[in-house]
Amino acid sequence: MFSNPERNVEEAGLSDGNIVADLGAGSGFYSLAAAKAVAPTGKVYAVDVQRDLLDRLKKEAQRQHIRNIDVIAGDLEKLGGSKIRDVSVDACIASNILFMLEDKKTFFLEAKRILKQKGKFMLIEWSGSFGQIGPHPGHVVYKDDAMKLAHETGFAFDREFTAGAHHYGMIFRKQ
C-alpha cells in the first residue's frame, strides 16, 4: 500500500455519528478506517461494482468486529448507481478509482447527489504512472484534471493534503 488510509481519513475530520460513502471501496481499507472514525453511531456505505471484493470486506469487518459498514453493489458511472438516498451522507471518500472510470463526470455527479449541503468529498488518486506500480500512463487523472471536473460538477476546492508518495489528496465541498 502506497498511502495510509487511517492517516488520510483523519484529514476528512470525520467524527462519531457521521455518515460516509466509500465510493469504489475495492478492498475496503478506507471503509474500515472510516468505520472506526465514525463509531459508535456513524455508518459507512462501501460501494463497489466488484461483488467479490465486497464479500471480502464484509468478512474482514466481521473479523475486526466492525458492525457499522453496509456493503452495496453499485455502478458509480450511473446517476443513482450507488443506491444511496439523495442528500444523505456527510462525506464521500474516493480513493484510486478515477483512473478506472470511463464516465468520470457522472461519478462526480453521483457523489454530489448523495452528499448533504457543504458535505466533504475526499479524493485520493495516483499522481502519475510509476513503471510497474500505478495506472497505465494514459489512464492517470492528474490533479488539475480532477480539480476541473470537481469545479464543473458543483464542488468547491477546500484544501489539498499529502496522501502518500505516489498520490495526491484533495478535499472538496458540495456547494
Residue spans per domain, the chain: 5-174
pTM score of the predicted model: 0.95
For the chain, 175 residues long, the average pLDDT of each consecutive 10-residue run is: 85 97 96 98 98 97 98 98 98 96 97 97 91 82 96 97 94 96
Q: In this structure, which CATH number among 3.40.50.10800, 3.40.50.150, 1.20.1250.20, 3.40.1170.60 belongs to the domain 5-174? A: 3.40.50.150
Burial class for 59, CB neighbours closer than 10 Å (0-12, 13-18, 19+):
exposed
Residue 117, CA distances (Å) to 9, 11, 120, 145, 156 in order: 20, 19, 9, 24, 12
